[in-house]
Amino acid sequence: MRLVFLGPPGAGKGTQATVQAEKRALHYIATGDELRKAIAAGTPLGEQAKAYTDSGQLVPDDLIIELFKDLLGKPGSEGGALFDGFPRTLPQAEALDRMLEEGGKTLDAVFYFDVIDEAVVHRLSGRRVCRRCGATYHVVYKAPRQEGVCDKCGGELYQRDDDLPETVRNRLRVYQAQTAALLDYYRDRGLLVRIDAGKAIDDVGQMLDDAIDALGDHSDHTGGPAAGQERL
């Protein structure tokens, strides 16, 4: 089984992706994780990517595509996979299709985690991070025992610039502009499934379980969606 999880920052797709990958023994591939690994290892591709991330720019499509070519060509990647945050643009989607087709494979479904902007702003702007150990908290959902102080090490908690409300809104505008054509691409192919990511974590997880289980029951993708998600 090969699945793609798409969604804006703060939609919760990363949390659900790791759960589903472990539950279904799928190779979990997250764009951000793989870029950080390449940068930390100092690979030629990582060095090129670092130049963009250090200046606050998005890593261009050609580097992301090359990264995934390497990943999909490694031993152990022949089986099922769950792509978290990749592809993010139409050229990346077309490149992924070509890479899979070369191995005689296709995608089974693309799950879009749909959530209203203000819910994302609320989730991300409430996040606080420890300056000392990096532990994360939330002023509503995971508050520290003492305001502004890390439970683990006693370090100072702060709000990252990326989590400021207006910065989050700008990130959402960029994401939506970048992915509009991508959603149309997968919708036209009958692969796009909307997940109501505004619901509680457990409810979203149940929706995904039902939808992914239905893929196994209807290999031609004709199965109807479960409650809370819809074929687009």
pTM higher than the cut 0.75: yes
Q: What is the mean pLDDT of residues 188-206?
A: 94
Q: Among residues of the chain, what percentage have pLDDT more than 90?
A: 69
Given 123, 128, 171, 194, which residue is catalytic?
A: 171
Given 123, 127, 128, 194, which residue is catalytic?
A: 127
pLDDT tens for each residue of 138-191: 999 899 999 999 999 999 999 998 899 998 999 899 889 888 999 999 999 999
Query: Within a 13 Å sphere around the CA of 173, how many CA atoms are in the beta-carbon half?
Result: 6
Given 37, 131, 142, 160, which residue is catalytic?
A: 160
Residues, the chain: 232
Type of residue found at 51? A
The C-alpha R_g of the chain, in whole angstroms, comes to 18
Question: Domain extents for the chain?
Answer: 2-116+173-231
Residue 173 annotated in active site: no
Residue 2 annotated in active site: no
pLDDT tens for each residue of 114-134: 999 999 999 999 999 999 999
Q: Give the integer Cα–Cα distance in Å for 34 and 23.
A: 21
Give the three-state DSSP class for 23.
Answer: helix
Residue 218 has pLDDT above 70, yes or no: no
| 215: CB partners within 8 A, 6+ apart | 1, 108, 109, 221, 223
Residue 142 annotated in active site: no
Band (103; pLDDT cuts 50, 70, 90) = confident
Given 88, 123, 128, 194, which residue is catalytic?
A: 88
Q: Which ranges of the chain does DSSP label H, i.e. alpha helix?
A: 13-23, 31-41, 44-54, 61-72, 90-102, 117-125, 165-188, 201-217
Residue 36 annotated in active site: no
Q: Does domain 2-116+173-231 have CATH number 3.30.465.10?
A: no
Type of residue found at 135? A
Q: What is the mean pLDDT of residues 198-220?
A: 85
